Amino acid sequence: MVTGSSVALTVLAATSIPNIYGGFLPTFWEIGSPETSARQDSVYWIRRGEIVATGISLAIGIATSVVDRTPLAFIGVLIMVGVLLYLYEHALRHGTSGDIIVA
């Protein structure tokens, strides 16, 4: 059953995930810069940061779902992880191709 506290815990868990990724990874702008995207050692460490941040994020989602006894928090965390991984991978793959809009 979905309650107000379930929704609140889901929002809390999901919105904490970008902080986890931010602690292990540089910004999208830094990753998309030609200097970072072209260096294989940078790509190696960025991918390792993605793995660690994803593991910690999933643990937060699982723990919150266990406490709340609903899968909502885990689902919310999965969605946030998916969005962040897409954005980081996009920055790695397309950062040097000139499709970054600079204002």
What local confidence, expressed as pLDDT, does residue 32 receive? 76
pLDDT more than 70, % of the chain: 88
**The dihedral sign for the CA sequence 10, 12, 82, 41:** negative
Distance CA 84, CA 17 (A): 9
As given in the structure block, the two tokens for residue 52 are 């660690």
Confidence tier at 96 by pLDDT (50, 70, 90): low
What local confidence, expressed as pLDDT, does residue 31 receive? 83
Q: Are the C-beta atoms of 25 and 88 separated by less than 8 Å?
A: yes
Map residue 50 onto helix, strand or coil.
Answer: helix
Q: What is the pLDDT of residues 20-67, one digit of tens each?
A: 999 999 988 888 777 765 677 888 899 999 999 999 999 999 999 999
Q: Cβ–Cβ contacts within 10 Å for residue 44, how many?
A: 10
pLDDT at 18 over 80: yes
Distance CA 46, CA 3 (A): 38
- pTM of the entire predicted model: 0.84
pLDDT more than 90, % of the chain: 60
As given in the structure block, the two tokens for residue 61 are 């989602």
What local confidence, expressed as pLDDT, does residue 102 receive? 46
